[in-house]
Amino acid sequence: MIEPHELKTIAEAFSRTAAKYDALAIDHPHQARLRNKVYAHIGRHVPAGSRILELNSGTGIDAAALAQRGYQVHATDIAPGMLARIQDKVTRYGLRETVSLQEVSFTDLDLIECGPFDAVFSNLGGLNCISDLSVVIDQLPAVLRPGGTIVWVLMPPVCLWEMAEVFRGKFRLAFRRLSKHGVRSHLEGFYFDVYYYAPQQVLKLFGPEYSHLEFEGLSVITPTAESKKLAVEFPRVYRLLARMDDALSRRAPWWGWGDFFIISMRYR
């Protein structure tokens, strides 16, 4: 569970970094590729036209992209700075009919407006800020239709690209995700804990009310999501790694060894 003061800290940290978050995504071929892989994963399991509840929506990059692909999105976040960015995209891209937004935490799904939904989506590790995912999972029946789909993108304990830092003597970075008690992270001068989840661990938390659809790794062989240099300065090398990544990302055990993994579930 996240204490109220921790939520306030996280909200303030991400509000302050909202502009940087959008700026990072500009001309970032690697991050664009990762997001497109997530959208393709959603497309395999959630029909166009479906209503999606997005948790931890950030600046609305994904909400806008999904709306442009034919989905109805209710975007939620706790950071006012992030929500302001979403509102800007809604206005700028003419998405008032397809994207709505609400300031609410993923720990308070009973406050969600305009449910139930066909899918619940969270991208790029937003849910790694909570120490017990069952707090969120237990609330899903209140917002998800029977037969609805969960698509979550989470950070696992094993990231091969980070572990390779051991060869540069950065042992703390290489093995930080293996901590069982979370890792202290900082953003814009604020500190909060991040927790890493193994795919099978998350699968077990869902329990018998849900059926498993698919695992998929993100950045199994390619660099971590924030890295832009390799894709921009060495495109041939990057394309080779991306092909390897695509070949391995949906195979065991590789789907659990990336910067992120996608888990998709069906609510029975």
Q: What is the mean pLDDT of residues 242-255?
A: 97
Say how far apart CA 132 and CA 125 lie, in whole Å.
Answer: 14
Helix 18-25 × helix 4-16 angle, to 10°: 50
Question: Is the pLDDT reported for residue 2 higher than 80?
Answer: no
pTM of the model: 0.96
End-to-end CA distance of the chain: 26
| Residue range 84-103, pLDDT digits in tens | 999 999 999 999 999 999 99
The pLDDT mean for the chain works out to 96
Cite the DSSP H helix spans in 77-227: 80-92, 134-137, 160-163, 171-175, 199-206
207-231: per-residue pLDDT in tens? 999 999 999 999 999 999 999 999 9
Which SS3 state, helix, strand or coil, does residue 139 take?
coil
Report the share of the chain in percent with pLDDT over 90. 92
Which run of H or of E encompasses 15? helix 4-16
Residue 63 has pLDDT above 90, yes or no: yes
Separation CA 170–CA 178 (nearest Å): 15
- Rounded to 5 degrees, φ, ψ at 64 are -65, -45
Q: Is the pLDDT of residue 1 over 70?
A: no
pLDDT score of 20: 92
Q: What is the pLDDT of residue 180?
A: 86
What pLDDT, on a 0 to 100 scale, did the predictor assign at position 194?
96
Mean pLDDT for 114-127 is 96
The domains found in the chain, sorted by start residue, are 4-267 (3.40.50.150)
Among residues 220, 210, 200, the alpha carbon closest in space to that of 158 is found at 220
Mean pLDDT of 54-79: 98
> To which residue do tokens 């077990």 refer?
204
Q: Are 267 and 141 in contact (CB under 8 A)?
A: yes
Confidence of residue 33 (pLDDT cuts 50, 70, 90): very high
DSSP conformational letter for 49: T
Question: Is cis: bond before 116, omega within 30 of 0?
Answer: yes
Q: Which two tokens stand for residue 141?
A: 């029946």
Q: What are 188-201's pLDDT values in tens digits? A: 889 999 999 999 99
Percent of the chain with pLDDT over 70: 100
131-186 pLDDT, tens digit each: 999 999 999 999 999 999 999 999 999 999 999 999 999 999 999 999 989 999 98
Residue 53 has pLDDT above 80, yes or no: yes
pLDDT at 113: 85
Distance CA 176, CA 157 (A): 8
Are the beta carbons of 263 and 215 closer than 8 angstroms? yes
Cβ atoms 72, 96 nearer than 8 A: no
- The answer to whether 143 touches 112, Cβ cutoff 8 Å, is yes
